[in-house]
Amino acid sequence: MRRQTLLFSAAAFAALGLAAEAGAQETLAQVKERGHLNCQVGLPTPGFYALADDGTWSGIDVDMCRAVSAAVFDDPDRIEYQSVTSAVRFTSLANGESDMLSRTTTWTAVRDTQLGMTFAGVNFYDGQGFMVPKDLGVTSVNELDGATVCVLTGTTTELNLADYFRANDLAFEPVTNENVNVIVETYLGGGCDAYTNDKSGLAARRSAFPNPDDHVILPETISKEPLGPVVREGDENWSDIVRWVLLGMIEAEEVGLTSANLDDMMESENPKVRRILGVEGNIGEGLGLPNDFMVDVLRSVGNYGEVYERNIGADTPIGLERAGTLNAQWTEGGILYAMPFR
């Protein structure tokens, strides 16, 4: 009797597995048939997803969208960008409006296990901080007891704020909105004493202020914010594509492959270089892409370092120095690390 029950259970689980497999989104086929990628970004933010007057998007997260488009279509611009608030981003992805999400989204346990999402990797390691007007005279978060704090609702930022102030026995009054532009306007208008967000986001927003030097980012970092692209759960092939495009860009920087030297490196005898370029191996074939898909990515978007420096690096208005940070290559003291491209 027990053996029959076990056999029935095994058969039931097998049937459920087949049903799940059959019901999985065949995203690559859908994207190809549609002729463009639907990529979700946030409300315009300098350096990450900036919107120019002519309607073109740019930024480190936009370049993640462009890299996937280049891998699939040999064209980085076959994309329809969808800009939505943080409060509805996961719903938009889950209901199929977006093929992927690339918008400074933190990888957490609940998001990864309970929302039907799959995180494809980390393209920026960040942490939450606080910005205040310089004339407030505050030099530490711990001096904000009783302060009003502007925070974006529906985010890990809101939860971290409550956790930190509770743990440090500090009182605060949140000023919330789901629209980051409203939050920034409220802060600049004096509607709150401090504005909290990922530190990269604070730097990005401050760079666009009328008088950036009138605002300071406090030294404390109160959380870990591993940010990266997200896809719907249930389509392993699609999540593999997004993941290995990102890892390929990271690995390309490590071995010295750039958009500028790509043609010369095609003759390289370095086996790591040859695998990334598809000269050896069949990684692309395993993803349902041409074996040289990374050639298209690198030619049109560049490696990870190029993307970083072009959008948020030390020579941009945002001015995020990479050296000595978590976002440096693992060989240079950071933790940026690609799984072996082989």
Q: What are the beta bridge partners of residue 217?
A: 131
| Sheet (strand 128-133) strand order | 172-177, 147-152, 194-198, 128-133, 215-217
Residue 36 structure tokens: 């463009």
Q: How far is the C-alpha of 144 from the C-alpha of 203, rounded, in Å?
A: 20
Q: Under a CB-based contact definition with an 8 Å cutoff, are residues 219 and 261 in contact?
A: no
Please state which CATH class domain 128-223 belongs to: alpha beta
Block means of pLDDT (10 residues each) for the chain, 342 residues, are 37 37 68 97 94 96 98 97 91 94 95 95 97 96 97 92 96 94 96 96 92 96 96 96 98 97 94 96 95 97 98 94 95 95 90
What is the SS3 assignment for 176?
A: strand
Does the fold of domain 128-223 match that of domain 27-125+227-332? Answer: yes
Delimit the domains of the chain by residue range. Answer: 27-125+227-332, 128-223
pTM of the model: 0.87
Q: Strand pairing partners for 121?
A: none
Strands (E), 17-96: 37-41, 50-51, 57-58, 79-83
Q: Are 226 and 125 in contact (CB under 8 A)?
A: yes
β-pairing verdict for 215-217 and 124-126? unpaired
Would you say 69 and 93 are in contact if contact means Cβ atoms under 8 Å apart? Answer: no
The arrangement of secondary structure in 27-125+227-332, i.e. its CATH architecture, is 3-Layer(aba) Sandwich (3.40)
Query: What integer pLDDT is reported at residue 8 of this predicted model?
Result: 36
Shortest CA distance to 247 belongs to which of 199, 287, 288, 280? 287
